[in-house]
Structure 1
Amino acid sequence: MGAAVADRLGPGPVRPWPLAEAAVWGEGFARCTLGPTAGCGPAGRGHGGGGPSRARARGRRPRHTSVTARVRAELRRP
């Protein structure tokens, strides 16, 4: 995801940001929002309401098959 955003916005490649440096925003923020699994988790395990099979059972159909392809195609440049 980070690489797709970088490709679209052009700030350069994604690179690690040491916690000590990121902690200027607050250590909790750095750990919870900038960590490698921030906001992510396996579908159906408490991250997103039950996963793809429940969503399909409710009649939902994805419009996009790749979030990174969508970011590269549609993210607005500043």
Structure 2
Amino acid sequence: MSGSTYLVETYAMKMLYKENMKIKEKEEATKHEIICNDQLKKSSSSSFSSSGGNWFTKMFKKVHPVTTPSSDSATKLRTF
């Protein structure tokens, strides 16, 4: 009978350990989520204030591509 007592005790300890690990994982996930949200709020507010609030106009800034002369025009300019 003594052997089965150890099995029951071991099973109970295993279940308690699993429950504790689940609780710790949930706490860690919520802490991580809170930290990420805080960092996101800080970065968005600091980027807005540092840019002077004109982020919307920067989003539509025109980009002009650099044009290079084609190889045909380069050979036409060289006349010997």
Indicate whether the TM-score tops 0.5. no
Q: TM-score, normalised by structure 2?
A: 0.23
Say which one has the larger Rg. Answer: 2
Select the structure with the greater relative contact order (CA < 8 A; seq sep ≥ 6): 1
Q: TM-score, normalised by structure 1?
A: 0.24
